[in-house]
Amino acid sequence: MDKPRRITDSFPRRRRRGPGRPPGRLKDKKDKDKVQVKVRDCPRAPSQPPTDPALLEMLRRFDLSWEYGPCTGITRLQRWERAQELGLSPPGPIRDALLEH
């Protein structure tokens, strides 16, 4: 009687890479000399002022407060606006901080 076929029989086997074998390894030593790393001269982004710890604490309290409804799947600003529409009176400084950043 024939052995039952498996779905994996119709796909070619692939060799797994080991931890000591990086992907795309060059075979010849000559080829290593030809490869050069190109570094683009990118203008640096303007440095941002350090974030105020009090602001971060205020945002954390807003995120963890169930008073303003669930926060899954929406942004902080959307949550603030929804709470405002429902008359839950969310803190005004939160909205100002969200619009500023």
pLDDT computed for residue 100 by the predictor: 87
**Following CA atoms 30, 34, 35, 40 in sequence, which dihedral angle do they give, to the nearest 10 degrees?**
160
CA distances from 5 to 9, 13, 93 (A): 7, 15, 66
pLDDT computed for residue 1 by the predictor: 63
Q: How confident is the model at residue 48 (pLDDT cuts 50, 70, 90)?
A: low
- Answer whether 73's CB lies under 8 Å from 58's CB: no
pLDDT computed for residue 80 by the predictor: 93
Average pLDDT over every residue of 16-36:
59
Token pair for 78 = 């959307």
In angstroms, how far is CA 72 from the centroid of its own chain? Answer: 16
